[in-house]
Amino acid sequence: MKIDDMDAFVAVIRCQSTNLAAEALQLTQPAITRRVQNFEEDLGATLLDRHTKPLKPTPMGVRVFEQCKAILREIDALHELVANDGAPSGTLRLGVPQTLGDVLLLDALGQLRERYPALRTQVTSGWGSSLIARMENAELDAAAALFPAGKIFPEGIASQSLMRMPLRVVAAKGSAVKRSYKLKDCYSQGWVLNPDGCGFRAGLQRALSEQGLSLAINLETFGTDLQLGLVANGQGLGLVPEPLLQASRHRDQLDVLQVSDFKPQVDLWLFHPRYLGNLQEPVELFGSIAGRLLNGASASPIK
């Protein structure tokens, strides 16, 4: 029985596709198929129901999958024991949502390159949920993203909350004519938000639905600074973490609306596979840089 065959089987179950498993392991689809077949022959059991789409494990396949995950974790721990003594090298694959990229990446990548010249960094952008999925598929070594406090991450992923921050409702300068609002007082102005899939947007929609109110989208676009620029131009309301508001060049053209019945908060999370080998130190540095940059951005009072 080969570890590579076991690894291929686990990847197929996680991806629910031999093609996606091949991409995750950087192999061809026939190679993945052959490895899974070898694994089944070694065990003398059928592990995949090949009549279903997407692919699903047989009842025995489910049990074998859980055991394989435990075995692979122990193998990773063994590699970790040996690899920790080496200087960080190779490729560090980071994930960052576009929401944070403008604030974090320039300084973080510069400091990582200066501290670890032998380490090459690759960056993937996406929603937090998609970054978790890519990490489960062994496509990322670490990621920083915004999730609610108390977020539960999948087994095998270590996580740390670096800081908590409020989300602010913002409008064009001069819009805040009252000291306090309720959602029903301002929601009809419409919003400038990320496309569907954004956690901020989903939280706002839930809050509105609980009051029987609808979510009116005036504009949907990626990029916090672009969104805040559109809000400053009077295109609607925005929803932004306070540190990103403070870091924006548009902050002096915005009012923060104090909405008494909508006070969401999010945490900045650093998460990574439990076993990182010699990448542990640069991942910890990346996390400390991310927390420091966002804490620094929120140090100034709101205008």
User: What is the domain range of residue 218?
Assistant: 166-264
User: b/e map of 185-211 (b: 16 or more CB within 10 Å)?
Assistant: ebbebebbbbeeebbbbebbbebbeee
How many structural domains compose the chain?
3
| Average pLDDT rounded to a whole number, residues 88-101 | 84
Whole-angstrom CA distances from 137 to 25, 42, 181 are 8, 24, 44
Q: Which residues contact 163 (CB under 8 A, 6 or more apart)?
A: 267, 268, 291, 294, 295
In-domain check, residue 303: no
In-domain check, residue 126: yes
Return the pLDDT at 186.
87
* pLDDT tens-digit series, residues 32-73: 999 999 999 999 999 998 888 888 899 999 999 989 888 887
CATH code for the domain of 253: 3.40.190.10
Return the pLDDT at 81.
56
Do residues 138 and 126 both lie within one domain? yes
Do residues 220 and 200 both lie within one domain? yes
Return the pLDDT at 303.
34
Q: How confident is the model at residue 302 (pLDDT cuts 50, 70, 90)?
A: very low
Return the pLDDT at 85.
57
C-alpha 63/C-alpha 58 separation (Å) is: 9
